[in-house]
């Protein structure tokens, strides 16, 4: 069975040939190869992949960039193009892009003719350390994120940090929030190593990505279908997702995921101190880093009621209680911790009182 966490993941180092790596992972026995790109990865990333000789006459399928296009309409367009080209079940789809391309392409491939193989070549940091891994694919529907989707594992994931060279800074931040989250929930040494510095050279990016991939894969292998330990990966996201939705409805503009998750991690770190015994000095250390590394979200006290409603609607909650992943110490966490609304409200006040917020 194709279980999430059982997927071959290769990280390309400077001395590797990227083309050989992709070819050896993907195999060659495909009747046709299709490459899904968005408007940005077509421009910045396709040239590097397009040079691969073995891809030969791969056909490029384009989609518009951005979360707004992670939907069924885009899938229909992909299915139309696969059908028109006569793609059979022995065709391969390569997703070349960020989380939006990997999620959409993975879903489109998994539903086409009851599933054709796909591989992910993630090009954003968030996709390299998170979205391309773990076997969740899907699209948004009726303004709800990832409403239609399934667990489906790529044949392989090939990561090349070189793509980060053209990734805009704010998208790099989104991936960095997940990197720090991985350290906080599972690996104190990793947190300690990366909390005060970002990689300067490709070799360092490779090390950082490798560490994050190992943490995510270890957690996914323990609990492929998210019934228990995998919920650890939601740290910062109960608040974070509510903040993203609130921001979108208030301003009409999406908030960068990293900023929302960093704000969420600050609130949930405070909750961890109150409910999970996280020592005061660790609370302070974590908040200092997150507050410094990510631009604060200008929220106000009267946003609280709406945030609580949004958190109540979180699909991970059961029985009307808000559940959180909390950290006991840096590098270890507990899932499914319920918190009283008054404590949740206090954690939000704590965030608002940090210097520079609100």
Ligand X SMILES: NC(=O)c1ccc[n+]([C@@H]2O[C@H](COP(=O)([O-])OP(=O)(O)OC[C@H]3O[C@@H](n4cnc5c(N)ncnc54)[C@H](O)[C@@H]3O)[C@@H](O)[C@H]2O)c1
Contacts with ligand X, residue ranges (CB under 6 A)? 38, 40-41, 44-45, 65-67, 70, 97-101, 103, 123-124, 126-127, 130-131, 134, 136, 145-146, 163, 166-167, 171, 174
Nearer to ligand X, 145 or 337 (CB): 145
Pairing of strands 32-38, 91-97: parallel
Partnered with residue 92 across adjacent β-strands are 33
- State in angstroms the smallest separation of the CB of 130 from ligand X: 4
Nearer to ligand X, 45 or 260 (CB): 45
| Contact criterion met (CB below 8 Å) for 71 and 138 | no
- State in angstroms the smallest separation of the CB of 312 from ligand X: 21
- State in angstroms the smallest separation of the CB of 214 from ligand X: 16
Residue 3 CB neighbour total at 10 angstroms? 13
- State in angstroms the smallest separation of the CB of 94 from ligand X: 14
* Residue number of the CB atom closest to ligand X: 99
Nearer to ligand X, 134 or 224 (CB): 134
- State in angstroms the smallest separation of the CB of 155 from ligand X: 16
Nearer to ligand X, 30 or 118 (CB): 118
Partnered with residue 107 across adjacent β-strands are none
Nearer to ligand X, 137 or 287 (CB): 137
Pairing of strands 32-38, 59-63: parallel
| Contact criterion met (CB below 8 Å) for 333 and 232 | yes
Rounded to whole angstroms, how far apart are CA atoms 58 and 343?
55
- State in angstroms the smallest separation of the CB of 226 from ligand X: 10
DSSP secondary structure letter of residue 2: -
| Structure tokens, 115 | 């599933």
| Contact criterion met (CB below 8 Å) for 5 and 135 | yes
Residue 249 CB neighbour total at 10 angstroms? 11
Nearer to ligand X, 87 or 220 (CB): 220
3-state secondary structure of 237: helix
């Amino acid at each position: 069975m194709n279980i999430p966490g059982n997927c071959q993941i290769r990280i390309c180092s400077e001395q590797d040939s990227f083309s050989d790596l992709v070819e050896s992972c993907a195999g060659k026995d495909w009747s046709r190869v299709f490459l899904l790109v968005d408007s940005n990865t077509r421009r910045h990333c396709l040239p590097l992949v397009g040079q691969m000789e073995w891809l030969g006459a791969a056909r490029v399928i384009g989609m518009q960039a951005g979360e707004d296009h992670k939907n069924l309409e885009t899938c229909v367009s992909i299915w139309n193009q696969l059908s028109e080209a006569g793609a059979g079940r022995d065709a391969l789809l390569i997703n070349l892009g960020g989380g939006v391309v990997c999620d959409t392409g993975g879903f489109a491939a998994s539903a086409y003719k009851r599933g054709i193989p796909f591989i992910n070549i993630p090009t954003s940091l968030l996709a390299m350390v998170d979205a391309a891994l773990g076997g969740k694919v899907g699209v948004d529907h009726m303004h709800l994120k990832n409403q239609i989707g399934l667990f489906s594992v790529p044949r392989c994931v090939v990561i090349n940090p070189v793509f980060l060279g053209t990734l805009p800074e704010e998208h790099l931040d989104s991936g960095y929030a997940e990197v720090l989250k991985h350290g906080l929930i599972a690996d104190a040494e990793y947190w300690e190593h990366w909390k005060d510095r970002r990689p300067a050279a490709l070799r360092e990016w490779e090390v950082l990505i490798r560490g994050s991939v190992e943490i995510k894969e270890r957690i996914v292998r323990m609990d492929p279908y998210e019934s228990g330990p995998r919920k650890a990966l939601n740290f910062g996201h109960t608040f974070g997702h509510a903040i993203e939705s609130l921001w979108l409805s208030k301003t009409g503009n999406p908030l960068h995921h990293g900023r929302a998750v960093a704000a969420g991690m600050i609130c949930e770190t405070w909750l961890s101190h109150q409910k999970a015994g996280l020592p005061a000095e660790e609370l302070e250390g974590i908040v200092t880093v997150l507050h410094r590394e990510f631009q604060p979200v200008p929220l106000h006290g009267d946003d609280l009621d709406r945030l609580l409603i949004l958190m109540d609607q979180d699909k991970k909650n059961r029985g009307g209680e808000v559940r959180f992943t909390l950290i006991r110490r840096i590098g270890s966490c507990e899932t499914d911790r319920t918190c009283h609304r008054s404590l949740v409200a206090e954690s939000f006040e704590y965030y608002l009182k940090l210097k520079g917020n609100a």
